[in-house]
Structure 1
Amino acid sequence: MDDIHAPTVASGLSSGIAPRDVSKVSMPDLMQEKERIEAELSALSSVLNSHGVNMNSSLTTFDGFPRDDIDIAQVRTTRVRIIHLRNDHKAVMTHLEKGLHDHFARLQNAPGATSANGTTVPSSAPTSVTDNSIADTGTLGTPFARVNSVEPGSPAHQAGLKMGDSIRGFGSVHWLNHERLSKVAEAVQQNEGRPLTVKVTRKNESGSGTTELDLQLTPRRNWGGRGLLGCHIVPL
């Protein structure tokens, strides 16, 4: 009998669609492709969860027979699609990073480029898009989430977060690496009791214009409510 865990779908995209040459796609289109892939990965993960399995779960019983409590064909096909999408996601992120490096290089080499104090900005080697120094720049300041609600007396409330705030940065998490906010959840869990810088854009009370703020948010328990933050954040 063939290995039940081995994929049966032919190599390449399981949809049969010709792979897209992401090297010729614009930055906005790359971002849309990134979001599309992440949304499909999330949906496929839900398919596996509905069967009570993950990418590594055994599809056979203890004595080597195929499990009869799951749709094995669907699980195997879903796993293959996830593998293809992960590879696609990696390629998109590689080209996004290259595009950002090229953008910064053009800014640094532009004639007459000066710093805030009037001195010439020196050219420097590009850094990774996951680096905090790049996460702090305006280029990576694109909002990726919105504060939907804030509980009174919560860590989020004490930090100054308000409903409607657009989040541009959450610690080292930004629009290129938030992975549908899963990285925000990781940052919260890993920094309990330690302050995180949350960069937000807030509409002015006058109704015209916005204000950009850097808030210090410390995730913690026992504040009188649920969770470590006391706010609800949704992806844009």
Structure 2
Amino acid sequence: MDLDRGGAARRGPDQGPRRDVREGVLAMAPILLAYLPFAVVVGTAVARSDNPLAAWLGTSTIYGGAAHLAVLDVLSGGAGWLPAASIGLLVNARLAAYATAMAPQWRSAPLRRRVAAAVMLTDAPWGLARGREDRGDFYLGAAAALFLGWPLMVTVGAFVGERLSAAPVTGLLPALTLGALVAGRVRVPPVARAVAAAGVAAVVTAGLPAGPALLICAALGVVAACAGGLAR
């Protein structure tokens, strides 16, 4: 650490925003590897869609693997854009809670930084940044790594997914990946309520088509997660 003329501490280039961004990118790296199997599944669904280019653009416009996969599944079943959009919004409704939790720390940030933080908001960077609310550059580094890496991994999945889809375990990859991400947060009451409600709904709707069943599970999970706050 250097000292200015008045003797005050001055952070060097490795102790300021650049360091925080670098640490965010490094923290996201192992999560990117964990997401790779799920990206292959999403990429396979993209390749099988009627309009692969439009489906691939969803990696950034929908920006959420579970929501993206749900939208593609509903569209492949012959449903229109309205049911597909509805289920995508429901699956990603949790992002509103994340944004609300982040708002106090980002309220005084420049508009361009707030827009960037909002566009790249999803589970992993939000979770990594918990406890580091005073280090916005850490969040931006982690979020940018995923925002840029996810479309690349889905693209790889679009090219190689068909070769892997014959393996019986492939169909379990989305559930295994999402389950691993959720497992560490089940101790949080809203998450536990959402998981329990969605699990019960999954059993009850087992005989329904995948699109409506997922819509019901997502809706009940969101309602259950919010129920505790409304009861207080």
TM over 0.5: no
Q: Larger C-alpha radius of gyration, 1 or 2?
A: 1
Larger fraction in strand: 1
Higher relative contact order (CA 8 A, sep 6+): 2
Q: TM-score, normalised by structure 1?
A: 0.28
Larger fraction in helix: 2
